[in-house]
């Protein structure tokens, strides 16, 4: 069975600036090259991958594209655009990205923006319409209820734009259900057929615990039931996921949960088909 990792990061400090890593004292504060993942991704059974932006710069997108062109198992790139500048976005889309087969989607680090409603600004919405017109997808990297509300608003106002909620919009695993609106908002989001869910990043959603099959199961089961097996796919979130588990261990948890919940036909969708359809991974 083919398996697509729709959330792989790489960073190279000589090619791009990663502001969020300034003064970061974790293992993340170093270069991470795609070659470092080769052995682990084979052990995990990953056959295809998508590189996802980790810096709000065109330089980083250019770096990811260079790597994608040189790496056979990488089938797409979720890059960045200056969405606050609609004219610049239009120019880059029409003169560059439209000619680049590896560009499959766009993302902005909205969770680092002081304004939790950053997505709903007039210029950003106009740029997102252009993204939709080019049949590119948009990754929503949200961590707050407000980010999820904004994603719902975007989905309603731009129904032609396919959105995916990275890391399931960061459910706070191990907290009491009453402390979050995540369940209700995810149910609301599921009403929009253009919103998908990326089962990823759960290792960094926990408080004082390690991700396991047992504590991941109810959250993954919930999104599969709520969004259906037609609108969910998976991502490893390497190397951020290393803060919690090895790459292989992360995938073992996800695959164990999914195998317990789904039959072979549904697994094929969640592991590969849905990602291929969402990102148009036809390379």
Summarize pLDDT for 193-245 with one digit per residue, the tens. 999 999 999 998 876 678 899 999 999 999 999 999 999 999 999 999 999 99
- Say yes or no to pLDDT of 263 above 90: yes
| The pLDDT value given to residue 177 | 45
* Mean model confidence pLDDT for the chain: 95
| The pLDDT value given to residue 283 | 57
Angle CA(112)–CA(6)–CA(169) in degrees, nearest 5?
40
Looking from the CA of 20 toward its CB, the CA atoms found within 13 Å total: 14
As a whole number of angstroms, the distance between CA 176 and CA 270 comes to 28
- Categorize the per-residue pLDDT at 178 as very low, low, confident or very high, splitting at 50, 70 and 90: very low
How, if at all, do strands 74-79 and 48-52 pair? parallel
Higher pLDDT among residues 200 and 180, named by residue: 200
| pLDDT above 90 as % of the chain | 92
- C-beta of residue 21 within 8 angstroms of C-beta of residue 29: yes
> Which of 21-35, 49-63, 169-183 is least confident?
169-183
Tell me 230's DSSP state: T
| The pLDDT value given to residue 200 | 97
Domains and CATH numbers, the chain: 4-279 (3.20.20.140)
As a whole number of angstroms, the distance between CA 3 and CA 45 comes to 7
β-strand partners of 106 = 79, 138
- Say yes or no to pLDDT of 179 above 70: no
- Say yes or no to pLDDT of 180 above 70: no
């Amino acid at each position: 069975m083919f398996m697509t990792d729709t959330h792989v990061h790489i960073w190279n400090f000589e090619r791009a600036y990663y502001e969020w890593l300034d003064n970061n004292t974790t293992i993340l504060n170093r270069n991470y090259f795609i070659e470092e993942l080769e052995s682990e991704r084979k052990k995990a059974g990953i056959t295809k991958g998508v590189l996802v932006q980790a810096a709000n710069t065109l330089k980083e997108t250019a770096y990811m594209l260079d790597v994608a062109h040189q790496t056979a198992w990488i089938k797409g790139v979720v890059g960045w655009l200056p969405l606050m500048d609609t004219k610049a976005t239009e120019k880059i889309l029409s003169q560059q990205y439209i000619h680049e087969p590896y560009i499959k989607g766009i993302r902005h680090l909205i969770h680092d923006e002081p304004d939790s409603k950053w997505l709903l600004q007039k210029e950003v919405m106009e740029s997102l319409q252009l993204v939709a017109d080019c049949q590119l997808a948009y990754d929503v990297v949200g961590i707050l209820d407000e980010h999820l509300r904004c994603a719902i608003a975007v989905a309603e106002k731009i129904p032609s734009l396919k959105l995916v909620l990275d890391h399931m919009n960061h459910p706070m695993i191990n907290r009491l259900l009453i402390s979050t609106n995540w369940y209700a908002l995810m149910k609301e989001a599921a009403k929009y057929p253009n919103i998908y869910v990326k089962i990823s990043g759960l290792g960094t959603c926990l408080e004082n615990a390690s991700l396991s099959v047992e504590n991941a199961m109810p959250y993954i089961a919930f999104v599969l039931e709520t969004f259906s097996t037609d609108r969910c796919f998976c991502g490893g979130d390497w190397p951020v996921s290393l803060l919690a588990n090895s790459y292989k261990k992360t995938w073992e948890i996800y695959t164990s949960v999914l195998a317990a919940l789904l039959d072979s036909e549904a697994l094929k969708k969640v592991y590969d088909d849905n990602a291929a359809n969402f990102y148009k991974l036809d390379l």
